[in-house]
């Protein structure tokens, strides 16, 4: 018989959960932009190489979300249902799973780095820079695997501020490391892309050590070594039931973006660089939708575990309203100041002109992306994860990729045509998922409903 905590939903507000996630994501974007700005002082080629290589790194991180996404949802529902022993099992198993997956992927990235970079058909000198980056950052990506897992565990338990502080610390260390190793401060040589790579690896290692200490300090579940090596098929199945579709959708998206990057590369190096700079700016709009999506997911997970379906249903509507208002407001500000923002990254008039057009299109794109993020995260929080993978595959590969080629290359619209394809994809998926939410089919998908009945 399971030990049960108080089965009431934890008293956590959307604001209390979301603002630390927003700050954390916002700082990550700032640091990513700082990387780009620092590297732009070396060359646009270095920016392009790291931008392309980071798409591969991001794909690895999405693979890790097989476990971290599933863990966040399962833990939230267990906490809402008051199942203490189950939370302990899921916490330990998720860390072990992602460590093993991370080590395998790190080895893969090192061995096959040349073939991976060659997919983009980059000029030789840019490809070599990308390989250098993958050798170090890809080789240590297992650190990120465990880091995002423990961060998900802390957030699911309501410790979003602690996860935020770890992120701040990591980014500050990364910034200092970049300054020293890129520009050769304190007697160090100027190391360029290799310097960014080393700084990334060191900052992640320190952050991992700190967040593991926080895990033991904050969550009173008394984890032992045997908990990490004990295999519980039921818990693994539940984690993967959510994690595989969630990560599968994101991998599907990232692969479609890789395909679209290859399409953009057909337009020339200037278009490729424009996309990197534009995405850095757009990331500042995206973080609010991401934060609202993650915060809403935690709250709805609690409510679903406690079987408060009415509360869960109206939480999504409330979150969606707030997130769309803020996204539109931020997108308008970015559109107004689009040229000065792009000028932070480059003085190339062609790139600034192309990027300005794309940022105007983001007035339509980013609200659609936010709409999509919040609704899909809410469905996932209830256990209804498969539908987003199915619709994601249909939309991304049936609409986004072919339409990007048709508009961007065949009709000659270039990058604006590709952005129009993004708009159609995001709004189509978001509206489809919204009608899924209104159908309330997700009420039958809650993972712990049988568990609560049998252990009460």
Please write the tens of the pLDDT for every residue from 136-163. 988 999 999 999 899 989 988 888 888 8
Tokens (6 digits) for 83:
């199942």
Q: What is the pTM of this model?
A: 0.76
Give residue 31's pLDDT band: very low, low, confident or very high (50, 70, 90): low
Question: How many residues belong to the chain?
Answer: 456
Gap between the Cα atoms of 19 and 337, Å rounded: 25
pLDDT at 32: 62
Gap between the Cα atoms of 92 and 384, Å rounded: 24
Share of the chain residues as helix, strand and coil, in percent rounded to the nearest 5: 85, 0, 15
Please write the tens of the pLDDT for every residue from 324-346. 998 999 999 999 999 888 888 88
Give residue 90's pLDDT band: very low, low, confident or very high (50, 70, 90): confident
Contact 243, 71 (CB under 8 A): yes
Q: DSSP E strands: which ranges in 109-235?
A: none
Contact 102, 142 (CB under 8 A): yes
Radius of gyration of the chain (CA): 22
Which has the closest alpha carbon to 386: 304, 447, 453, 323? 447
Contact 131, 57 (CB under 8 A): no
Secondary element (H or E) of residue 430 = helix 415-439
For the segment 191-206, the average pLDDT, to the nearest whole number, is: 88
Please write the tens of the pLDDT for every residue from 260-304. 988 998 888 888 888 888 888 888 788 888 888 888 988 898 888
Contact 391, 449 (CB under 8 A): no
Is pLDDT of 3 > 70? no
For the segment 236-244, the average pLDDT, to the nearest whole number, is: 86
Tokens (6 digits) for 185:
């401060």
Which has the closest alpha carbon to 423: 353, 356, 350, 370? 370
pLDDT at 9: 40
Please write the tens of the pLDDT for every residue from 41-69. 777 777 777 877 887 887 787 788 778 88
Q: What is the dihedral of CA 183, 185, 189, 195, to 10 degrees?
A: -60
In sequence order, the 6+-apart residues with CB closer than 8 A to the CB of 331 are 285, 362, 363, 366, 367
**Position with higher pLDDT, 371 vs 10:** 371
Contact 274, 293 (CB under 8 A): no
Is pLDDT of 110 > 70? yes
Gap between the Cα atoms of 352 and 218, Å rounded: 47
Q: Which of 35-44, 116-125, 211-220, 310-319 is predicted most confidently? A: 310-319
Is pLDDT of 425 > 60? yes
Per cent of the chain over pLDDT 90 is 30
Q: Is the dihedral of CA 374, 379, 381, 386 positive or negative?
A: negative
In sequence order, the 6+-apart residues with CB closer than 8 A to the CB of 30 are 171
């Amino acid at each position: 018989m399971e030990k049960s905590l108080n089965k009431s939903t934890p008293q956590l507000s959307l604001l209390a959960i979301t603002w630390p996630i927003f700050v954390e994501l916002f700082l990550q974007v700032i640091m990513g932009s700082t990387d780009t700005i620092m590297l732009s002082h070396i060359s646009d080629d270095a920016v392009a190489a790291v931008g392309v290589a980071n798409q591969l790194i991001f794909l690895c991180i999405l693979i890790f979300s097989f476990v971290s996404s599933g863990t966040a949802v399962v833990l939230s529902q267990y906490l809402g249902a008051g199942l203490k022993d189950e939370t302990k099992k899921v916490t330990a198993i998720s860390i072990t799973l992602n460590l093993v997956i991370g080590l395998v992927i790190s080895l893969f990235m090192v061995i096959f780095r040349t073939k991976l970079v060659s997919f983009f058909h980059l000029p030789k000198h840019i490809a070599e820079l990308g390989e250098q980056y993958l050798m170090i950052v890809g080789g240590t990506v297992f650190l990120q695997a465990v880091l995002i897992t423990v961060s998900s565990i802390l957030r699911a338990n309501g410790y979003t501020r602690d996860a935020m502080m770890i992120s701040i610390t990591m980014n500050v260390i990364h910034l200092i490391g970049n300054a020293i190793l890129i520009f050769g401060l304190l007697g160090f040589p100027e190391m360029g892309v290799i310097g960014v790579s080393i700084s990334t690896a060191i900052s992640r290692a320190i952050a991992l050590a700190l967040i593991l200490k926080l895990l033991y300090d904050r969550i009173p579940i008394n984890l032992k070594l045997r908990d990490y090596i004990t295999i519980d098929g039921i818990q693994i199945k539940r984690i993967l039931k959510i994690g595989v579709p969630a990560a599968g959708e994101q991998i599907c998206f990232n692969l479609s973006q890789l395909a679209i990057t290859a399409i953009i590369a057909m337009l020339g190096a200037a278009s490729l660089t424009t996309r990197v700079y534009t995405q850095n700016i757009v990331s500042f709009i995206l973080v609010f939708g991401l934060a609202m999506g993650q915060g809403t997911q935690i709250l709805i997970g609690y409510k679903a575990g406690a079987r408060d379906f009415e509360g869960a249903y109206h939480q999504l509507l409330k979150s969606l309203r707030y997130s769309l208002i803020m996204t539109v407001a931020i997108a308008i500000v970015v559109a107004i100041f689009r040229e000065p923002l792009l000028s932070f990254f480059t003085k190339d008039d062609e790139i600034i002109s192309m990027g300005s057009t794309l940022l105007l299109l983001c007035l339509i794109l980013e609200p659609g992306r936010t709409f999509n993020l919040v609704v899909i995260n809410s469905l996932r929080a209830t256990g209804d994860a498969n539908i987003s993978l199915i619709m994601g595959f249909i939309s991304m590969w049936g609409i986004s990729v072919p339409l990007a080629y048709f508009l961007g290359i065949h009709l000659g619209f270039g990058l604006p045509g590709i952005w129009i394809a993004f708009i159609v994809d995001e709004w189509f998926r978001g509206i489809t998922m919204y009608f899924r939410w209104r159908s309330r089919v997700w009420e039958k998908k809650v993972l712990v409903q049988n568990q609560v009945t049998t252990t009460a």
